Amino acid sequence: MATSSSPRLLSSFLGDRLLSVSARPLLRGAAPGSRRAAYQATRTLCNLVDVLFNRGQSDKPEDNPRRLRPGKVSPRLSVPKHIQRPPYVNARQRPGLHNGPEIHDERGIECMRASGKLAAQVLKFAGTLVEPGITTDEIDKAVHQMIVDNGAYPSPLGYCGFPKSVCTSVNECICHGIPDSRPLEDGDIINIDVTVYLNGYHGDTSATFLCGNVDDKAKKLVQVTRECLDKAISICAPGVEIKRIGRTIQDHADKFKFGVVRQFVGHGVGQVFHAEPVVLHFRNNEWGRMTLNQTFTIEPMLTVGSVNPVIWSDDWTAVTEDGSLSAQFEHTILITEDGAEILTQYYI
């Protein structure tokens, strides 16, 4: 966070550069503060910019040989011309947080189910690729190919300049890691964040995978992060206050003394990539209630140590300032009469 007195919110994949916010986090999708926080300057996928938390220290790992370092980023992959693009691709105007929630009719719900199902299938496939020696760039290429083979567009590609089709966040990377030439190592953990745009609707999901022989502390972090997501989804239903999501996540994380990242948040998703509501993953007093047929993401990010992010000079990669491990899980959910339907259900 920028400062303790004026935190910002980043969407875990939003697209703003600098959100105008007062004393709030920055969205993975958008920032609260004023429910209509506007993105002022391109952001590169939900990470905030500049000051953006001690940017100068980011690309300079200390003596720890396991600390992440930027690798070589390959050229942007192409998408067949017949595949429908989201409006922000090649648009002159930078996308911002859509002011209204994503509430769907029957056709919209079916389209959301289709995009969510594909995103889940792609994520499950991506997880099978995780092993020591594979590069995150190779994962990106495989994910990209599967998405376009299914007639969809990889939503991150070209979003506010993001150069790849998936986010790959290894070890201390909180979110928005850009796939590159670094091979995964035995003992790594990696979050893979997949969003597909199919028939005019986005399906957004992520999971953290274990690479080889992972130590018990990392396994516990991953397990508890997933439990936080599951518990948060379990309390969702029409009329429920959205702030209960943050309290549920924070309560569970606190039991294990894990930190909850505040600078990145969940968001409405559907025909637009990032919409209201802003979903905070920590205790808060934001207003708003869940609505029948509404879709949004919940995507808690937990850490072993510091919850403060540092943004690399690529304007996207967000890492913990102390190099401690971070894990994340995410689902797109639909609010139904009976509670919540997970549109991106995967089985890993």
249-294 pLDDT, tens digit per residue, is 999 999 999 999 999 999 999 999 999 999 999 999 999 999 999 9
Least confident of 91-105, 170-184, 275-289, 333-347: 91-105
Q: Is 325 within 8 Å of 313 (Cβ atoms)? A: no
At 334, the amino acid letter reads: L
At 264, the amino acid letter reads: F
Whole-number pLDDT of residue 90 = 80
At 84, the amino acid letter reads: Q
Distance CA 272, CA 207 (A): 22
Distance CA 164, CA 157 (A): 5
Is 193 known to sit in a ligand binding site? Answer: yes
Is 267 known to sit in a ligand binding site? Answer: yes
Task: Kindly report the pTM of this predicted structure.
Answer: 0.85
What domains sit in the chain, N to C, each tagged with a CATH number? 89-342 (3.90.230.10)
- CA torsion 45→48→49→52, rounded to 10°? -140
Sign of CA dihedral 85, 91, 95, 98: negative
Mean per-residue pLDDT for 35-62?
A: 36
Scanning the structure block, which residue is given the tokens 């991106």?
344
Mean per-residue pLDDT for 216-240?
A: 98
Helix (H, G, I), strand (E, B) or coil at 218: helix
Higher pLDDT, 162 or 42: 162
Is 176 known to sit in a ligand binding site? Answer: yes
CA angle 102, 249, 17 (to 5 degrees): 55
pLDDT tens, residue by residue, 89-124 = 987 667 777 788 899 999 999 999 999 999 999 999
Mean per-residue pLDDT for 294-308?
A: 98
Whole-number pLDDT of residue 94 = 72
Is 330 known to sit in a ligand binding site? Answer: yes
52: confidence class by pLDDT, cuts 50, 70, 90: very low
Is 299 known to sit in a ligand binding site? Answer: yes
